[in-house]
Each structure stands twice: as C-alpha cells, then as structure tokens.
A and B are shown apart, each in its own frame.
Chain A
Amino acid sequence: DAGVIQSPRHEVTEMGQEVTLRCKPISGHNSLFWYRQTMMRGLELLIYFNNNVPIDDSGMPEDRFSAKMPNASFSTLKIQPSEPRDSAVYFCASRGDGGGEQYFGPGTRLTVT
C-alpha cells in the first residue's frame, strides 16, 4: 500500500487566498484525522471523520476552516480566507476499524505570506 497520500506537499500563498489541502487515506481505513503542527503548539487535532461522517470538529480554529470527506478515499481541508498565522504543517492520518494505530501522511507545509 502507498500509505496516506497528501497533496500538495508544499503550498505558498498570499493572505486572503483560498487554500485546499487534499488527503487520500489508506484503503480500507474508516477513520480520518486532520492535524496541524507548529513549533509553538505542537500537533493539534483539527477534525476527524469516521465512515465519512465528521465526529469531532472542536479543534477547527475558526469558520475560515472547513473539511469534507465526500467518500472513503478522499478528504479536503479548506482555508478561506487564509492568514499568515495559518502557516504550519498540516497532516492527515487514517486508522482502521477498531481503533489502534493512526498512520500519518507526509504532511503539507503551508506558508501564507
């Protein structure tokens, strides 16, 4: 298996622009997690899905952030409008049925200027 796939790997955008991050979980996994990692705050859970349904979005910082999972093999995290403080590495992770290990993707490094 190719593991969790994220795109793009790097994104540089200007403040106010819309940013869309994409994730393809491991085939057969039914839980998907979006995290944000910064030096100051570490790894923070933004939202997670189970069977394509959002279970907990309490970590989404503001209404500017939204996430969707239209099917079991694809999810997006959108920031609109983006701000410099959104600069971070965004990770997607997936997990199989029954809990256990989360498998992380390589991350998307976002820079908002």
Chain B
Amino acid sequence: QKEVEQDPGPLSVPEGAIVSLNCTYSNSAFQYFMWYRQYSRKGPELLMYTYSSGNKEDGRFTAQVDKSSKYISLFIRDSQPSDSATYLCATTHSGGTASKLTFGTGTRLQVTL
C-alpha cells in the first residue's frame, strides 16, 4: 500500500463549479500537509501548506486536514479554466531541514467552459 493514496482522475467540471480533491495517508506521524499544482509539462508549484488538523483558506482555495481519519482535501470554489492542472497532495513528518515529502500520484483536473 502506498503511503499516500490519491485518485488519478481525470476529473472534469464546468466553469464555476466547486471542486473537491482528496487524499488519504497511512502514517499517523505525518504532520505537515501540502497541495502542489502542476501544469502540463511544468514542475509542481506549492499551492497550500498546512500543519496538523484544521482548515486553511487562501482566496478560492481551502485546504482541510482531518488527522483522525487521515484524510486531506482541497476545495476550489468558482473553478476557472486556468485551474486545469494536476493537483498533488504531499506530506511529511516534520517541517525541518531533514524532512522529505511523500507525494500522492496526482489528480488531473479539467475545468471546461
């Protein structure tokens, strides 16, 4: 079993829809949770960064972590065609220098006009 599981999609939604992207993880030692966005033929870029359980909001994006169920979510409100990309969840044990990230395989999102 992979440490981080993510549905690969693709997920296709109409412009303006609310998008829900999810990951599950198996290691209860994970403390830091991230969402990266990757456009086609580009490197991933950090979108959201959260510590432990709870919600974090940034504009149209909300990251949610439920450590009791080992479940990570990213919500996108009022989705736009420019949101079309692959979204990767990532997690790590600590935020320190020695930490390394474990990634999900990514969910490909397509927002249509």
Contact of B98 among A45, A50, A100 (CB under 8 A): A50
Interface size on B, residues (CB 8 A): 22
- Across the interface, do B43 and A106 meet the contact criterion of CB distance under 8 Å? yes
- Across the interface, do A43 and B42 meet the contact criterion of CB distance under 8 Å? no
Interfacial residues, chain A to chain B (CB-CB below 8 A): 4, 30-31, 33, 41-45, 48, 50, 55-56, 91, 93, 97-107, 109
In the complex, chain B residues whose CB is within 8 Å of the CB of A4: 43
Interfacial residues, chain B to chain A (CB-CB below 8 A): 6, 41-46, 49, 88, 94-106
- Across the interface, do A101 and B100 meet the contact criterion of CB distance under 8 Å? no
Q: Compute how far the CA of A44 lies from the CA of B99 in the bound complex, rounded to whole angstroms.
A: 15
In the complex, chain B residues whose CB is within 8 Å of the CB of A41: 105
Nearest CB on A from B10, distance (A): 12
In the complex, chain A residues whose CB is within 8 Å of the CB of B43: 4, 91, 93, 104-107
4 further A-B pairs in the complex, CB-CB below 8 A; given A48-B100, A50-B98, A109-B41: A42-B88, A45-B102, A91-B43, A91-B44
**Of A41, A43, A91, A104, most B-chain CB atoms within 10 Å:** A43
In the complex, chain B residues whose CB is within 8 Å of the CB of A30: 97
- Across the interface, do A43 and B99 meet the contact criterion of CB distance under 8 Å? no
Q: Compute how far the CA of A30 lies from the CA of B97 in the bound complex, rounded to whole angstroms.
A: 9
Task: With A42-B88, A43-B106 as known contacts, state yes or no: A97 contacts B97, CB within 8 Å.
Answer: yes
Q: Compute how far the CA of A97 lies from the CA of B106 in the bound complex, rounded to whole angstroms.
A: 27
Nearest CB on B from A40, distance (A): 8
Q: Compute how far the CA of A94 lies from the CA of B95 in the bound complex, rounded to whole angstroms.
A: 14
In the complex, chain A residues whose CB is within 8 Å of the CB of B95: 98-100
- Across the interface, do A50 and B88 meet the contact criterion of CB distance under 8 Å? no
- Across the interface, do A104 and B45 meet the contact criterion of CB distance under 8 Å? yes
B34: nearest chain-A partner, CB-CB:
A101
Nearest CB on A from B14, distance (A): 26
In the complex, chain A residues whose CB is within 8 Å of the CB of B96: 98-99
Q: Compute how far the CA of A88 lies from the CA of B99 in the bound complex, rounded to whole angstroms.
A: 24
Contact of A43 among B44, B45, B97 (CB under 8 A): B44
Q: Compute how far the CA of A50 lies from the CA of B103 in the bound complex, rounded to whole angstroms.
A: 20
- Across the interface, do B104 and A50 meet the contact criterion of CB distance under 8 Å? no
